[in-house]
Structures are given as C-alpha cells and as structure tokens.
Amino acid sequence: MLAGIALPAAGALGLAAKGTVEGFDEIPSNLKTPPLSQRTKILDSEGGLIATVYSRDRTVVPIDKISPYMQKAIVAIEDGRFYEHGAIDLKGVLRAINRNAQSGGVAQGASTLTQQYVKNVFVEEAGDDPEKVAQATQQTIGRKVRELKFAIQVEEELGKKKILENYLNITFFGQQAYGIEAASQRYFSKHAADLTLGEAAMMAGLVQSPSRYDPINDIQEATKRRNVVLQRMADVKDISQAEADKAKATPLKLKVKTPKNGCITAVDGAGFFCDYVRKTILNDPVFGKTAEERQKLWNLGGLTIKTTLDPRAQAAANEAAVAKINKDDPVAASVVQVQPKTGKILSMGQSRPYGLDQKQHQTTLNLAVGSKMGGTTYGFQVGSTFKPITAAAALEKGLSPAQTFDTPWKINIPEGDFTRCDGKPAGYANWEIGNELKTEEGSFDMTSALGKSINTYFAKLEQMAGLCETITMAKNVGYDRELGKKPKELPSITLGAQESTPLDMAAVYATFANRGMYCTPVAIESVRAANGDKLNVPQTKCSRAMSERTADTINQMLKGVVEDGTGTKAGLSDRDNAGKTGTTNDRKDAWFVGYTPNLSTAVWVGDDVGEKKSMYDITIGGVTYDKVCGGCLPGPIWKIAMTGALNASETPGFATIAVPRGEKPKDPKEGDEGPNKPNKPGKPGDGKPGDTKPPTNPFPGITLPDGVIGGNNGHGRGNR
C-alpha cells in the first residue's frame, strides 16, 4: 500500500503491479556517492583555462559551501518534516491518500526529500537515453517500491545532512544548471555559499517546475513562487514573519551569467586543439577499453585536463593563421607546432574560426589532423617537403651529401628500376619527371638540390637510396600516422605525391631537430578525476629514426633553404633555423615546414571545401598572387608563428657538422621564365664527385606526374 501512495487504483490508470519486486539487482546498489556528471576543465600547460565542457553543467560542493538559507528553503518547501521522519513520511502518506481519494486522481504526492533524491539518482544514471529516462520516471508501483527500498537504505547509511547535500548537488534548477552551485552562478553569478534569503527562496521554488518559475523568462511568476517559499519558511519557524515580509518586498535582482560550454568557447582560437583533446579521450584505449567506457568517462566529466598547449605558442599560431588569410577567402591555412624532444603539441591554429555557423565561415574540421581526430579524410599532398625524408634515407644508406647528378630539365626512369619492400618492381611503365622551369638543369649535389628543390635530382637519389628504404624512413618519422594508412610504394612519393597532415609533418621535421629521434605527438599532460584521482594518459613514444649524424647533416642542408634557397622569406635572422617549401601540382597545396632545435612548425595553405582549387591568379588576404607557392605564403605565415612562439632568450643551435659538397655549379644561362626565375646551374659535365649513376633516358617534352611539382612558383625567386 505504501508503495502505491499518490497513485489511484492500478486498474484505473492501467498501472500494473507486475515487477514490484523484480529488477532490484539491476538498480545501482550504492547510492551513497552517485557519479554525478560535472564540468570538465581543459587547461593549458601553465594552468590557464582553455575551455569548459560538460553534458551537465554541475559543480559538486560540500554542504558547508551551501548557504544555510538555501538548506532551510529547500527543506521548508519540499519536505517540511524532513528532520522528523525516516525515509517515509507516514503523515504525508495519509494526507496524500485522503486528497487523492477525494479527487479521484493524483492530486497530491507524498515523496520525501530522500525519495526525490533516489529518483534523481536513477534519472542521472539514465543520462540522455530517452528510453532509460522513461523507465526511471514511469508511474508504476514497481518503481515506487524500488525507490522506497533504496530510500530506506540511504536514510540508514547516510543521515540527513549528507542526503541534503547530495540532493542539492543532483537536482535540476533549470537553464541547463544542475546542482545548486551551477544554478547560483547561472542566475546570480555568485557561489552557492553566498546566496541571500530571497535568492535562496527563489532557487528552492524552481525545483517544482524549473520552466514555469524560470526568472529569466517570467520574473513575475518567479517572484510569486519565491514569496510562497518565504512564507513557508516563516510558517515552519525557519525565519521570522518580519524577515519573510522584508524579503518579499525586495525585488528579484538577477545577475545572469550565460553558460560557456564546449570547445567553441576556447581562447586564442584553440577550439581545434580543444576538440583534439576531446577526440583523444574518446579514442585512446588508455581512457577505457571500449568506446562506450571512454564516452561514459567524457560524459561524466568532472575532469581536470592539463594539456600541452603553450599559451604563447597558441597566440602566435592563431595570429599567424589569420595574418595573411581572411576567414572568407577561398582557401584556408593550418598552423601546428610540436616540441621536438617531447612530442608535445604546443599549438593548433586555423584561418577559419572554430564553430558551426557556416555563414560566419566557421568550421569544426581540424585541418591539422586526420578524420579519426576530427580532421580530413585524405590529408594533403606534401610536395617537396617530402624530399628531406628521401635525403635522410640516402644518407642512412651511406650516400654522401656530395652525391652529384647531371640532369636535364626532364628525365625518364623505368619504374622497374625501383624495388618495393617485397622485392618486386614498383611497376613496369616509364616514370616521367620534370622540373618546373627549363633553367633547372645541370649539376646538383644534395645541398643545392634541396635548396632549389630539384625534382629530377630527387628522383635519381631515390633510385640510388632505394624505394623501400625511402618508404621505411617515411614510416620511421611518422609521415602518415594521423591518416592511419601505409604509404603506397610508388616512386613519386619522393616528390610528395602522397598525403600527410600538418601535425604529422611538424612531427617529421621535429625528428631532424631532435637529432634523429622521432617522438609521437601528444596533447595531454595529466588528467584528474572529480575525486582527485590521477588517471593514466597517453605518453609520447620516442624511437630512433636515423643516426644523429644523418639528422645533423639534414639540418645543415635545410639551413640553406631558408638562407639562400626557396625559403628565404621565411628565414629567422636571430637563431639557427631550417625548413623546406612544398607546392603540389596545379598549386592545390602549398607548404612550409621548418624548425629550430626547440620548435617545429608546419604551415599548410589550400582549399578546404569541396573540390580543391588551383591557386593561380587568386586573391588571398587582400593580396593577389599569380601563383601561390610554399615560400611566398606559407613561409611568411611560418615566420610569424615561429617569431611569436619562441623566447628570444633561448637560442640553441644545431650541432655543427661539415657537409661535403659536390662540384660548384656554373653560372646559369638566361632562360625565358621572366624576372622571377631561379639561378640555373651550368652545363652538365663529366666525372662529377660521387656521380656513381648517371641519369637515364632523357627525353624532351616530358610532363610531370599528376599530383606533384617540386619546382619554382613564379611568384618569388626559387620558391617551391
């Protein structure tokens, strides 16, 4: 009978008693400290707040952090005899039965504060699952019996004070606010401990119907309800009548604080990084064996996540991303920075703002990463930024930087000259390779070929180093980690015909800066649960990708790129720095990836919407480019990001190493490429140092394979 209080006869409303004692084992047995969904704080590496995210806006506080007025108000209006009865209020039951019998329906309930608390726990457990919520709130005798069973246990084990504390932390107060602390902040911009009598009465009045008594939408109705609570407090002698009357006469003064939820609120354009952190928790097994476990952890919240984001670097990356490209331009920029020795991701910036409003040119697509982490499905071709990987493979095989090739403007190499890792030929057709300009012919060693980004040289270098060795080096430096696929064993990989991501490319070049040690990128330093427990987090995994000598040699050669090669517009004048430009076929992607010993930065520019556009005769950031190139747009963006991120007092240098050179090229002939053409090496000669394999099958009029160019851009001198 007690289980059915406040309900008419079972037959009248079709409420069955079946299941009255069934399903007890399915209900959580521990209601002492139910897991409450709370806010999660995402912090930068210095402890600054990046963003707050939650599925329930709640901050759990102890009873001594809740205003005494609030404690008295909620008891007075919801369960005036709370401290006098046990889990069940027998007087309330009799009163409810009498009223309901007279009305023939449910006119009055008799649930105690403890019973309401138990019901709220079941609702909280149901989360956002409509079916589970319906089960937790269904009007059946079975549910009432279960509530009573656990209410009795809770009364015995917790006591009144703890029940009241838990109730005030779990209850919904409207306006997306769960628990008294979040509600206090929402309506009055203050802590629950500081609520006045009138404010507490208004808050207590919300519980019965948060929408009906919402003070933001209907201040008059909220005021009436507040006054009812105040009078009830006076009636039960919690306050005097004079105090109640004075509070009634005081107008409600709200100080509404709009809740900020999600990565869209992240500071300094860090929304993409914030979302990357979210994806890390949802995808990495360290946070749970199954996707369901990880999702539950994220939804439960209450986490304090300290990330690797450096506030100075993030501000610089964000500034750089928007400095040369407007949010409504036809192309976008991605800027990402990685710390070489630790793998820590220090920043992620984009020219388009993070968000869902396409009319404001917002996007949630993270251009720095692969689709699993909220980014691109296919990635972007990297152009000539791949060439240092081929150079590293060649050096590891024992080839000298002085290795010289005499090459015409265009060459042809049989695919059968390249061997895959399974020992089979890479193909049976002829691979046709060309430099962009007719002036790009003659004698080049590895340093000059990197500086001028000579395609034909690197095709021949890959032939000598080995296709399998080049592919293996790409894997060792994490070239396609984000995309989760193996590189295709095709010779054109040396010219950047295959895709990667800005984050992976920043990590690739960080390997050179770290003297050959590759470290997987990480975004999280530590995570603490709501109870203070420290959770395990993903750790960077460092492995040797190449010898120190190879990395040191690459560093010295790539210094030439920014000093007098294709990346002169990007070079930093106050410290050792190195890098490489990259431009793909039809100029659909443009790159600059570069580094100092303590910071690696990748910049990509290209079309991020629909079918990729060629960047010819295009206006970007108010500037018209006849041809976008790695050195003329990504390069200056890179310089802004690096300059802002680096501390001027810290200027470590690369390890000094002598890099042997081949025969110095002769002065160029004048070509017909216009005023922006690069210097052209002299005529091919015989007997060049280290020239162990001459070029094969030169043909005039050969075209470039689809997807790549490594050559000159025509907008600036020798940019690629």
Nearest C-alpha neighbor of 693 from the set 427, 401, 403, 397: 403
Give residue 208's pLDDT. 93
Give residue 557's pLDDT. 96
Give residue 683's pLDDT. 34
pTM of the entire structure? 0.82
* Pairing of β 616-620 and β 542-544: unpaired
Residue 639 DSSP class: H
Helix runs in 21-78, H state only: 68-78
Whether 123 contacts 137, CB under 8 Å: yes
Helix, coil or strand: residue 75: helix
Residue 419 DSSP class: B
Give residue 67's pLDDT. 97
Q: What is the mean pLDDT of each run of 10 residues along the chain (720 residues)?
A: 45 41 46 81 97 92 97 95 78 59 48 87 77 69 74 85 95 94 96 97 96 95 97 96 97 91 92 97 97 93 97 97 96 98 98 93 96 94 97 98 94 95 95 91 95 95 97 96 91 96 98 98 97 96 98 96 84 93 93 97 92 92 95 96 91 94 57 33 33 36 40 37
Give residue 101's pLDDT. 52
Give residue 690's pLDDT. 32
* Pairing of β 599-606 and β 380-381: unpaired
Residue 212 DSSP class: T
Give residue 119's pLDDT. 85
Nearest C-alpha neighbor of 143 from the set 230, 17, 28, 304: 17
Count of other CB atoms within 10 angstroms of residue 409: 22
Q: Where do the structural domains in the chain lie, given as residue ranges?
A: 58-249
Nearest C-alpha neighbor of 39 from the set 14, 12, 25, 57: 57
**Class of residue 129 by CB neighbours under 10 A (exposed 0-12, middle 13-18, buried 19+):** exposed
Residue 237: CB partners within 8 Å, gap ≥ 6? none
What is the per-residue DSSP string for 332-383? EEEEEEE-TTT-BEEEEEESSPBSS-GGGT-B--EEEEEGGGTEESS-EE-G
**Dist CA 552 CA 554 (whole Å):** 5
The CATH code for residues 58-249 is: 1.10.3810.10
Residue 35 has phi, psi (to 5 degrees) of: -70, 115
Whether 234 contacts 244, CB under 8 Å: yes
What is the per-residue DSSP string for 108-140? -----HHHHHHHHHHHHHHTT-HHHHHHHH---
